[in-house]
Copies of this chain bind each other. A is one copy, B any other.
Amino acid sequence: MSKNLTTRAEDYSKWYNELVVKADLAENSGVRGCMVIKPYGYAIWEKMQAQLDKMFKETGHQNAYFPLFIPKSYFSKEASHVDGFAKECAVVTHYRLKASEDGKSVVVDESAKLEEELIVRPTSETIIWDTYRKWIQSYRDLPLLINQWANVVRWEMRTRLFLRTAEFLWQEGHTAHATKQEAIEEAEKMMQVYADFVQNFMAIPVIKGTKTASERFAGALETYCIEALMQDGKALQAGTSHYLGQNFAKAFDVKFANKEGKQDYVWATSWGVSTRLIGALIMTHSDDNGLVLPPNLAPIQVVIVPIFKNEEQLEAINQKVAEIQKALQQRNISVKYDNRDTQKPGWKFNEYELKGVPLRIAIGPKDLENGTVELARRDTLTKEVIAVDAIVDRIGHLLDEIQTTLFQKAKNFRDSHITLVDDYTNFKELLETKGGFLAAHWDGTPETEEAIKQETKATIRCIPIGNTPENGLCIYSGKPSAQRVLFAKAY
């Protein structure tokens, strides 16, 4: 009944790669660095999308859609943006293929060369701000609160399913405001929306913070982020929200007339989360038996497996299960009944454990006699026998409990992996042994940040929001520091 899954202790990275494939979430495609998101993985993404979309709309945002392609020249317009994004990207140079001379294949038609190359969007600030120029004339047109669900492409050299792929799916919010204050509030609000979503729906605890200048989004004046901690002690940036000041408005000449009739540049934010979050989900909760999914995001919350030796038994079970299914569905609990006769119960138990279905009901002839079922929890791997009559309430209760337990367990792990360090030797040792977030003093210079990164591969994940001021000395330079920041190795 083995799942042939490498354990986390053996090789965490291998465990992750195997799990993604074996749990039917995603796989590599024939196209370098691009993944196929399989139905089970995509169903999780759909649940994430639905919840995020609801939260965006509740905070006043509307969806729209902007072009996949961005003319090359757009990238040169915002100086720091070009450095960050116009590098490793997919470039469209031609618009036609033709039959090869031998007629056996197709070749690029050299006569169909574009005058200006098009870049497949790595992010859409440039094309969107080029559009906003036409949409914004007056303060009456503001704020403009828009989100886009889209695919983007960044030509990564080393890719990993969900975590880093050449093409990925995401949402990107792009908002325009009449004042600096309002734009900052928006960027902070969306960081909070992300934190609420990731904590309450994905059961992943996060630390809210701001990025250092060198870790900021290319073109941003401030980058807010939520940082999560994976089971191997590495951090993962789970979402970012950027205050862009007037940089893009100036680059794309987007002005508005304020209430006094004076022209001013518009203030901007952008914010996004991506399918990368599925990687965080897997690495936060799953175990050596496979995936563990929080009930809020599980495509199947309850699976029912019949235990039977003959047709007659199965029919009796089918009847009882139909009642249970109906009762659960009425409570909006998603339930799957797997009564295939091509696979044995043990195989099915294994399969749904691997796929992280939160609760499993097993029901056999004896259960029918006794009016009971066996209920198994995926997260704790515990079982209980309960009366059929009590099943709906019990399951409703357990789903809530699993959601809470997963969050609490991840939070305990995270909290026990935030270590205060005041000594660089100790810092380096902790990074290699315990891992996690190291709360250390830093002198605030990019030079020190870069030196530490070069020597240890640890980066400053964030300056936590609401950080307690504390005078100290930088662990690297010994210069004065006013607060601790969080270092970690990261995905």
A interface residues with partner B (beta carbon < 8 Å): 27, 29-31, 34-39, 42-43, 45-46, 62-76, 82, 86-99, 104-106, 108, 117-120, 127, 130-131, 134, 140, 146, 150-151, 153, 155, 167, 169, 342
Identify which of B30, B88, B98, B140 contacts A96 (C-beta below 8 A).
B88
Contacts A38-B64, A62-B42: A89 and B95 contacting too (C-beta < 8 A)? yes
Partner of A95, one of B27, B155, B167: B155
**How far in angstroms is the closest Cβ of chain B from A96?**
6
Shortest distance from the beta carbon of A79 to any chain B beta carbon, whole Å: 10
Please report the C-alpha to C-alpha distance between residue A39 and residue B145 in the assembled complex, in whole angstroms: 10
A167: chain B residues at CB < 8 Å are 67-69
Can you list 22 A-B contacts with CB-CB less than 8 angstroms, sorted by A residue number?
A29-B130, A30-B71, A31-B69, A31-B118, A31-B127, A34-B68, A36-B66, A38-B64, A42-B62, A42-B64, A43-B63, A46-B63, A68-B151, A68-B167, A69-B90, A73-B105, A90-B92, A91-B95, A92-B92, A92-B120, A93-B93, A97-B119
In the bound assembly, the distance between CA atoms of A130 and B45 in angstroms comes to: 23
Contacts of A106 in B (CB 8 A): 72, 75-76, 82, 86
Contact between B96 and A155, CB atoms less than 8 A apart:
yes
Judging by beta carbons under 8 Å apart, are B89 and A62 in contact?
no
A91: chain B residues at CB < 8 Å are: 92-97, 108
Report chain B residues within 8 Å CB of A134. Answer: 27
A252 CB, nearest partner CB in chain B, Å: 10
Question: What B residues does A34 contact at CB under 8 A?
Answer: 67-69
List chain B residues, Cβ under 8 A from A169: 65
* B89–A97 CB distance below 8 A: yes
Q: Which residues of B contact A42 (CB under 8 A)?
A: 62-65
A355 CB, nearest partner CB in chain B, Å: 14
> Which chain B residue lies CB-closest to A152?
B68
B63→A36 contact, CB < 8 A = no
Contact (Cβ within 8 A) B82 A87: no
Cβ A67 vs Cβ B342 within 8 A: no
When the two chains form their complex, are residues B76 and A104 in contact, meaning their CB atoms are under 8 A apart? yes
Contacts of A75 in B (CB 8 A): 97, 106
A11 to chain B minimum Cβ distance, whole angstroms, is 24
- Shortest CB distance A132–B (Å): 10
In the assembled complex, the CB of A112 is this many whole angstroms from the nearest CB of chain B, namely 8
With A and B bound together, what is the CA distance between A146 and B24 in angstroms?
Answer: 14
Give Cα A127 to B90, complex, Å. 18
Q: When chains A and B are docked, how far (Å) is the Cα of A268 from the Cα of B150?
A: 28
**From residue A197, how far is it (CB to closest CB) to chain B in Å?**
20
Which of B45, B65, B97 is the one whose CB lies under 8 Å from A36?
B65
Instruction: Please give the distance in Å from A36's CB to the nearest CB on chain B.
Output: 5
Q: Bound complex: CA of A234 vs CA of B42, how far in Å?
A: 39
Contacts of A98 in B (CB 8 A): 87
The 8 closest A-B pairs by CB, nearest first: A34-B67, A39-B62, A37-B65, A91-B94, A95-B155, A76-B105, A31-B67, A93-B93
Known: A46-B63, A65-B169, A82-B99. 18 other contacts (CB 8 A): A27-B134, A29-B67, A29-B131, A30-B130, A34-B68, A36-B64, A36-B67, A37-B64, A42-B63, A43-B63, A67-B167, A69-B167, A76-B105, A82-B106, A90-B95, A90-B118, A96-B155, A97-B119
CA distance A63 to B414 in the complex (A): 34
Q: Which residues of B contact A86 (CB under 8 A)?
A: 97, 106
* A120 contacts across to B, CB distance below 8 A: 68, 92, 120
Is B104 within 8 A of A96, CB to CB?
A: no
Give the CA-CA distance A402 to B82 in the complex, in Å: 51
CB distance from A53 to the nearest CB of B (A): 9
How far is A490 from B34 in the complex, measured between Cα atoms in Å?
38
Least CB separation from A340: chain B residue: B140
Nearest residue (CB) in B for A89 is B97
In the bound complex, CA of A92 to CA of B69 (Å): 11
A203: min CB distance to chain B, Å: 24
Minimum C-beta distance from A70 to chain B (A): 7
On whether the beta carbons of A39 and B76 are closer than 8 Å, the reply is no
